A and B are shown apart, each in its own frame.
Chain A
Amino acid sequence: MENLQFLLDGFATAATPTNLLLALIGVVVGTAVGVLPGIGPAMTVALLLPVTYGLEPTGALIMLAGIFYGGMYGGSTTSILLNTPGESSSVVTAIEGNLMAKSGRAAQALATAAMGSWVAGTIGTLLIAFFAPIVTRFAISLGAPEYFAVMLLAFIAVTAVLGSSRLRGFIALTLGLTIGLVGLDSVSGQARLTFGIPQLGDGIDVVVVAVGIFALGEALWVAAHLRRKAVEVIPVGRPWMGKADLARSWKPWLRGTALGFPFGAVPAGGAEIPTFLSYITEKRLSKHPEDFGKGAIEGVAGPEAANNASAAGTMVPMLSLGLPTNATAAVMLAALTSYGIQPGPLLLQREGGLVWALIASLFIGNTLLLILNLPLAPMWAKLLQIPRPYLYAGILFFASMGAYAVNGSSFDLILLLALGLVGLGMRRFGLPVLPLIVGVILGPLVEAQGRRALQLSSGELKGLFGGVDVATGDFRFSLVAIVVYVIIALVLLWPLIFKLLRKLLPAKAESAIEDIAHEVEAQVHDPELHTRKELL
């Protein structure tokens, strides 16, 4: 197992006193910011990115890994202790978690969430260490036509599979592509959409886009609809759980992990579907099904593990292909680029030491999180009561600081403001933000790969479907590219296929599907959660 050797080397890099301290700071700050209501994991990473700017890449990545897991964990604490869940990935955890908290079992809910996150994070990170090199090996064998196809698939997947409206998803994606066009064309050097402004020549920094869309856009949107009544926070002591709770939790943790990781690893799998599947599975398998709807611990343990495992899963395509499959991964990719690291299939070869140090620090961060968060939970709960004017003023403050720090120029603040207004409009008009950010990151790469593929085929369109065999000089269609195009077609035609299937499907199967839908509906009392149900 050479991977094991690499991983041990990674631990050697990550376990120096300085780097351990950076991981610790990352975990604490990440949790503290992630706990704050209205701040999801992606915004946590985007807002805290500038903190890492002064560090060298390894230290910065180690701190970022801590921030990443801290932000994830903080989000679930918020959803258990507040009755209105923020990010979609913790909606399911919130259902039973909040019910448990209301019936005086907040400590147990937080404990099973913390330990479930740790179990899922540890197994998930092991799986990253196992799969990332395998996917990389496959990825290196791919050429420009295959990459072009795979990135198109990433576009279509995040746009057409996630979110409730495909049309609005495609609008968001195209806005992202437009932002990605700004700057000098990489091949011809001609200026596109720069309007003669020299600062736009290098394009719009992805970090500024992420901070503008995630942080400023969100702060402005909340300001427009700020809840004037203070939200109710459930008081909590130190998280703990007894033997009975542990006995009820460990299987859901493992099952949740098994569901979450694969969904996270494929484009557009996301955390919503596996957390819901985990919820339904646990309800079916539970020895105490009567507890569901009153605060069943299995309903927190399973979905929370699924959520964290899915987050770990997103690291596989991110590290091995440079493909972002959720918002947090998109921001992490932006971070890599801002440290001067080129993400993509060659990342593991060129920056192997760095990647393995990152994977090792995911283990370390995850464990630090468990040790810290059990005793610190009451303090995190207090953070939920932060006066809202300070919270959102703070987001504006840190967003400005971060955007200014990217290039040390106030021009980026003008861009930040414009992007913040775009983010505000997107939230108002139901345009999902993920396709936009993926469009900004992948758009220029897709164009570059497409043009390279055409260059290899001397401009013939078939160059997008295959390449010339070096040995024989004959043109050969690429199996990978063709398969990917077929998948794209299936995803795009899915609504039609679904209708057909429904007609062909025997009535029995149909009623089974409806049963599940009703069951979920019966559980989900909160009207805000209704939209999520449609994902099933």
Chain B
Amino acid sequence: MSESAATAGQSAAARPSVPRNIAEYGVCVFLTLLGVVVLVDALQLNNNRTGVDPLGPKPVPVFVGTVLIVLAVALAVAVSRGNQAEAEAGEDIDLNQRVDVKTVLLLLGVFVANIVLIDFLGWVISGGLLFYGSALALGSRHYIRDLAISAALSLATFYGFAIGLGVGLPAGILQGIL
């Protein structure tokens, strides 16, 4: 374990390590806030212990909330001593590149649009838009081909899954047409 921390530290030393650390402290803040939320929520519970339930619903969330805060502190200490996250590698991942914030935000936007539109427009339209928008956000520039694939995919999944296999997907405004 200490070995891995050391190698991670070395590889990170080549890059500017200060902004990475700030982000790591952000994780500590997130964990602390989450712990506080869990604790505050636990305090409103009415812990009437009974013979059937000698513990009550309160102690477990109190424990989990406390552990979240303890772990946040432990992580802060570890990070201040130079412990660095090992970002996950993968087949299509190039960790030497900077984080592509724009692509991620665009994808999130497309995803949120799908959440808002799915019940009204139905899966065929909103799912198609989700695929089309995501492909464009990820850098595809074949506008016509992408549109055709999106339409084919959303129609195929709707007919295949919703009508064929009985999976519950909404028809939306196309109700009666499909």
Interface residues of A (CB under 8 A from B): 37-38, 50-51, 53-55, 78, 82, 84-86, 164-168, 170-171, 174-175, 177-178, 181, 185, 187-188, 190, 192-193, 195, 218-229, 231, 387-394, 396-398, 400-401, 404-405, 408, 410, 413-414, 417, 420, 424-425, 427-431, 447, 450-451, 454-455, 458-459, 495, 528, 530-531, 534
Contact = CB atoms under 8 A, between A and B. Distances in A.
The 5 closest A-B pairs by CB, nearest first: A54-B166, A459-B54, A430-B85, A393-B134, A389-B140
A389 B168 contact: no
B93 interface: yes
Given A390-B140, A413-B118, A417-B115, A428 B85 contact: yes
Given A167-B71, A227-B94, A405-B161, A193 B38 contact: yes
B115 A222 contact: no
Contacts of A388: 92, 138-139
Interface centre among A51, A400, A427 (most CB of B within 10 A): A400
A178 B90 contact: no
B92 A222 contact: yes
A339 to B, nearest CB: 14
A454 B134 CA distance: 51
B85 A405 contact: no
Interface in B127-163: 127, 130-132, 134-140, 146, 149, 153-154, 157, 161
B56 A188 contact: yes
A217 B126 CA distance: 21
Contacts of A53: 165-168
A459 B49 contact: yes
Interface in B21-79: 23-24, 27, 30-31, 34, 37-38, 41-42, 45-46, 48-49, 51-57, 60-61, 64, 67-68, 71, 74-75, 78
A429 B92 contact: no
B46 A417 contact: no
A419 to B, nearest CB: 12
A430 B75 contact: no
A404 B144 CA distance: 28
Given A221-B93, A222-B90, 15 more contacts: A38-B92, A51-B161, A54-B165, A84-B89, A165-B1, A175-B34, A190-B57, A195-B41, A218-B90, A390-B149, A394-B153, A396-B107, A405-B167, A408-B170, A413-B111
B67 to A, nearest CB: 5
Given A388-B138, A390-B140, A454 B97 contact: no
A428 B87 contact: yes
Given A187-B53, A430-B88, A404 B107 contact: no
26 contacts: A37-B92, A54-B161, A54-B166, A55-B165, A85-B91, A175-B34, A185-B57, A221-B88, A221-B90, A223-B104, A224-B100, A224-B103, A388-B138, A389-B139, A390-B135, A391-B92, A398-B157, A400-B130, A401-B127, A404-B118, A413-B114, A413-B118, A430-B86, A454-B54, A528-B89, A534-B4
B7 interface: yes
A404 B88 contact: no
Nearest to B46: A190
Contacts of B42: 192
A231 B49 CA distance: 61
Contacts of A393: 130-132, 134-135, 138, 140
Nearest to A394: B131
Contacts of A451: 53-55
A174 B28 CA distance: 13
Contacts of B84: 430
A165 B4 contact: yes
Nearest to A399: B111
B140 A178 contact: no
B174 interface: no
Contacts of B170: 404, 408
Interface string B106-134: 01101110110011000100010011101
Interface of B: 1, 3-5, 7, 23-24, 27, 30-31, 34, 37-38, 41-42, 45-46, 48-49, 51-57, 60-61, 64, 67-68, 71, 74-75, 78, 83-95, 97, 99-101, 103-104, 107-108, 110-112, 114-115, 118-119, 123, 127, 130-132, 134-140, 146, 149, 153-154, 157, 161, 164-170
Nearest to B71: A171
A37 B85 contact: no
Q: Is the interface of B mostly helix, strand, loop or mixed?
A: helix
Contacts of A414: 115
Nearest to A170: B71
A307 to B, nearest CB: 17
Nearest to B89: A528
Given A165-B5, A400-B127, A37 B71 contact: no
A262 B52 CA distance: 40
Nearest to B57: A185
Contacts of B46: 190
Contacts of B1: 164-166, 495, 534
Contacts of B88: 221, 427, 430
A174 B34 CA distance: 11
A179 B151 CA distance: 36
A266 B1 CA distance: 22
Contacts of A400: 111, 114, 118, 127, 130
A401 B169 contact: yes
A429 to B, nearest CB: 4
Given A396-B111, A404-B169, A429-B27, A188 B92 contact: no
A412 to B, nearest CB: 10
Contacts of B149: 390
A197 B150 CA distance: 34
Nearest to A407: B168
A50 B91 contact: no
Given A38-B91, A181-B64, A428-B85, A54 B167 contact: yes
A397 B153 contact: yes
